[in-house]
Amino acid sequence: MSHKPRARVPWLRVFAEGVVIVVSILLAFGIEAWWDVQQQKQHLRTVLTGLEAGYAEHLALIDENIDYVAGDQGRLRRFIDMDPNDAARIPADSTWGTLQSIWRPGTSDDNITFLISALEDQSLKLLADPLLHEAIAAWHAQVDELDERVGQMAAAEREALRALARHSEVRSALAQPSRGETRGLATDRRLRSVRPQPLVLSGDVMRRVREDQEVMAVAGMKAFHSRIHLQVLRDLRVVADSVASLVRLARAR
């Protein structure tokens, strides 16, 4: 009986082909991982660019609110310090603005909701920047403080409107249809005060309002809350500016 010689296994070729397959798989995984990292980095750059623009707008809005609250606070403080005869001599074009300072909350719309949404983006976790994360946490805390203060101002607004509405001339002015700007909206739609042109109230009305102890008590409370509100806005500006600076640095890397 004859035996055929056993075919030799080309181990070297098998090994080489196996190495090629493994390397190809690893290379494919490596390219995919590299591509994912590049996509994440690109998304992060997009998020940082949006944040940079968002915080620039945020800082501008804070500055507007600081000016607005400070102006109202100054008018209110002057009215509180007047005696009734001085109140009767307030210039006609300033009478309505003076009374508005007693109830207006003093904070306009802002872009905080947009910023919070952007800051919740998961790609921000890729930033190994503890200073930025600490600054963002401080900003969140200050936003919460501002929300609390705005709520207190809104409560003071309602009390002021009720007190002022006891004076028939002021109540009639508050009841006029609202047009134009949207700052300082009253909670009760019947008492909304915003309009493109200020109303003029007589010196007698201003004297009686200044003599009204209930109105002045509310005005004093509004002045107290307004002072704290103004400081919270200024503190918010400091932490927002810190976040904005760190975002610019992160984007520039």
**Domain presence at residue 164:** yes
**Residue 4 covered by a domain:** no
Is residue 235 included in any domain, yes or no?
yes
The total of structural domains in the chain comes to: 1
Q: Does a structural domain hold residue 21?
A: no
Quick one: what percent of the chain has pLDDT higher than 70?
78
Please check whether residue 12 lies inside any domain of the structure.
Answer: no
Band the pLDDT of 129: cuts 50, 70, 90: confident
Which comes out higher in pLDDT, residue 211 or 157? Answer: 211
Burial pattern 2-11, b for ≥16 Cβ within 10 A else e, equals eeeeeeeeee
Pairwise CA distance, residues 110 & 102, whole Å: 22
Q: Does the residue 188 lie in any domain? A: yes
pLDDT of residue 240: 95
> What are 141-174's pLDDT values in tens digits?
999 999 888 888 888 888 999 999 999 999 888 8
Task: Quote the pLDDT of residue 128.
Answer: 77
Better pLDDT: 125 or 113: 113
Give a yes or no: residue 14 inside a domain.
no
pLDDT of residue 47: 82
Q: ∠ CA(80), CA(178), CA(89), 5° rounding?
A: 30
Structural domain span for residue 92: 38-118+131-252
* Contact status, residue 190 vs residue 175, Cβ threshold 8 Å: yes
pLDDT(203) > 50: yes
Reduced 3-state DSSP string for 104-116 = CCCCCCCCHHHHH
**Angle of helix 11-81 relative to helix 213-252, nearest 10 degrees?**
150
Q: How many residues does the chain have?
A: 253
Per-residue pLDDT, averaged over 171-192, amounts to 51
Residue 11 pLDDT: 65
